[in-house]
Chain A
Amino acid sequence: MSDTEASTANDAVITARDLTKHYGGISVVDAVNFDILKGEVFGLLGPNGAGKTTTILMMLGLTDISSGKISVLGHDPARAPLQVKRRVGYLPDSVGFYEHLTAAENLSYTAKLMGIPFAERARRIVAALARVRLLDVADKRVATFSRGMRQRLGLAEIIVKQAEIAVLDEPTSGLDPQATHEFLGLIRELKAEGVTVLLSSHLLDQVQRVCSRVALFQAGRIVLMGPVADLARQVLGAGFVVEVEADGPGLARRLATIPGVTDVETLAADRFRMTADRDVRPDAARSVVAANGSLRRLSVDEPSLEAIYARYFQTHKEPSGGARHAA
């Protein structure tokens, strides 16, 4: 208990302690613990069905908590959902709008539900639509909107609310690269304004681009949590991953003998991935040449979330034995 109070004191806006949700005896979320700090972009990652959306719904008081505790901005969402929902904006997975109403009418309806006074409403809606670049289609029916426009309209709703925490569930899934890029830009703008953003996704490189910290979900548990760089050290074991594309006899063995290399993985007959604690590219090039091989490519990877994720699920098979694949 003293532990909980200590962490709420150092500006954690969301605190979960042993948060659990059962559906008919099956734990969908199983004793999850995390703290989300004010102003950070926190990513919830994991395969579909890992418990991300359920965790979010418990945060908003939209589904009952089976056991454990969660506190959002100092309120218990099960007891004081209105207090929580007044200050937290939520963009659901594949958000829907009333198709026969215009973008502005849709926002005006939710703005009324938020209790924003009449004089304030119109001003805030115009400002929000301008920010997400939908002002020129404000009076068009939502039925004509593309998926990317709908997602941006959903974000406009959070901006109208002036939410302190924005909860975005799979905001970029199904968007084309251009729309994704724009959307991630909007998330960064929110962060710059001091809004705490909670992002759930199974699209890893996007999360990596915006998140300050991530939590990796697997079968209802958080198996890894921290900044991406830390996770890379933890899971991949070292900071550098060098990929070599070359052929020549016994290359894998030769590469493994280079000092500092901890692991060589053979990806294909002529492709190798080396994990090392320093940049071993010059040594790798030398070994290939020494072996009379032809070197075609030599690259160093930034530690990517994709690699962490793949490696993690490779080494930790799911306890249930289900052949579920990451993302």
Chain B
Amino acid sequence: MRREGSPFQGLGTVAVKELSDNLSSARVFVLELLIVLTALAALYGAIDNLRQNTAQDPFLLLRLFTVDRAPLPSFVAILGFLIPLMAIGLGFDSVNSEHNRRTLSRILAQPIYRDALLMGKFVAGLATLAISLAALWLMVIGLGLIFLGVPPGSEEIARSIAFLVIAIFYAGVWLSLAMLLSIVFRSPATAALVALGVWLFLTVLWPMLAPALAQVIAPLDPRYAALGLQTPETAVWAQTLGRLSPNNLFGEAMLAVLSPTTRSLGPVFLEQLRGAVMGAPLPFGESLMIAWPQTVALIAGTIVLFVAGYIVFQRQEVRA
């Protein structure tokens, strides 16, 4: 049975309204403040570190993203941790609050499909995250100019834009997850708790669990251990399992894009390194190729989770 009319009718209206709600809400302001302050602290550490060890470095700007100083993690590591928090904060009550405020049936009685409401909310959430991340990106570049005094080269700008795009899709995964939970659970508190639980599990527990699980699947070989080496199968399993966490994918993609000397993200055999000049940077295109699978995985995760939410939402009853 075919429906008449476009599913996108009203999409723009919903997206603009939700975006303005997001940007003016106290919740987003607090989340942004949290990210900016933490990022500033990380950047301060990085700048301090870079000033003291000014080596010949063609990618000084990129170092700002990745260098850390003792107690503080690097800027990228902090983002990997905080972007999910912000995305969850935006999405956990997007649909169930419409139910609870009893606005859903009134809005859906207007000439729009449910598709427009859900997609409008997603687009607005992603736009909010993109705006925040772009502002943060500009802040890093500005601070780099002021404190390091070195104008960034075109390749550095290209790499940092790649960083921005990947970060937005990383946020998209968590936004889709939070919205899915906001559709499944009628209570915003439950949705938020579940989302935060998933976030803690994937960012804190999973990196510890993955190697343990890998050892169960492929037990360590004592011959390698005797030589002080990792068992290759176990290492491959540990990496594969670790990649189930979007946090890990984001970290790997960032490593490839922001550290131009990265040649591979997996175990490397000696023969693969034949002819390679160790420590020489790869061209931007090559780095992007290395980060590509991780990027695609993040985009796919965003889409799959959104579609899951979409299906559940289409089948849900409107009445409270």
Contact = CB atoms under 8 A, between A and B. Distances in A.
A1 interface: no
Contact of B105 (A54, A92, A98): A92
A78 B1 CA distance: 9
A61 to B, nearest CB: 9
A80 B105 contact: no
Interface stretch (A110-118, A190-198, A257-265): A110-118
A152 interface: no
A157 interface: yes
A96 B106 contact: yes
A113 B110 contact: yes
Interface in B94-147: 101-103, 105-113
Given A53-B319, A113-B10, A62 B105 contact: yes
A60 B107 CA distance: 12
A57 B110 contact: no
Given A80-B4, A81-B3, A96-B101, A110 B112 contact: no
A67 B17 CA distance: 37
A82 interface: yes
A79 B113 CA distance: 12
Contacts of B21: 98, 100
Interface in A87-122: 88-92, 94-100, 109-110, 112-115
A154 interface: yes
A115 B4 contact: no
Contact of A157 (B106, B108, B319): B106
Most buried by A among B1, B102, B110: B110
B49 to A, nearest CB: 44
A112 B3 CA distance: 22
B96 to A, nearest CB: 13
Interface residues of B, number: 26
A212 to B, nearest CB: 24
A150 to B, nearest CB: 10
A86 interface: yes
Given A79-B1, A80-B4, A98 B101 contact: yes
A85 interface: yes
A90 B21 CA distance: 25
Interface in B220-242: none
Given A53-B319, A79-B4, A80-B4, A110 B101 contact: no
Interface string A139-161: 00000000000000010010000
A4 interface: no
Contacts, number: 85
Contact of A60 (B3, B13, B17, B109): B109
A33 interface: no
A85 B111 contact: yes
Given A62-B318, A79-B4, A82-B9, A114 B102 contact: no
Given A82-B4, A113-B112, A57 B102 contact: no
B106 A62 contact: no
A299 interface: no
B5 interface: yes
B90 to A, nearest CB: 16
Contacts of B1: 78-79
Contacts of B271: none
A294 interface: no
A94 B109 CA distance: 15
A82 B5 contact: yes
Contacts of A95: 102, 106
A254 to B, nearest CB: 53
B101 A99 contact: yes
Contacts of B57: none
Interface in B1-55: 1-5, 9-10, 13-14, 17, 21
Given A82-B5, A99-B101, A109 B13 contact: yes
Contact of A110 (B5, B105, B107, B113): B107
A62 B108 contact: yes
A181 B294 CA distance: 64
Contact of B2 (A79, A86, A96, A110): A79
Contacts of A62: 105, 108-109, 318
A91 B1 CA distance: 28
A209 B13 CA distance: 40
A83 interface: yes
A292 interface: no
A97 B103 contact: yes
Nearest to A54: B319
7 contacts: A57-B319, A79-B3, A81-B3, A90-B105, A98-B103, A110-B110, A157-B106
Given A79-B4, A81-B111, A115-B9, 6 more contacts: A79-B2, A81-B4, A81-B113, A97-B101, A114-B110, A154-B106
Interface of B: 1-5, 9-10, 13-14, 17, 21, 101-103, 105-113, 317-319
The 9 closest A-B pairs by CB, nearest first: A96-B102, A90-B109, A82-B5, A113-B110, A96-B101, A86-B111, A92-B105, A112-B13, A85-B111
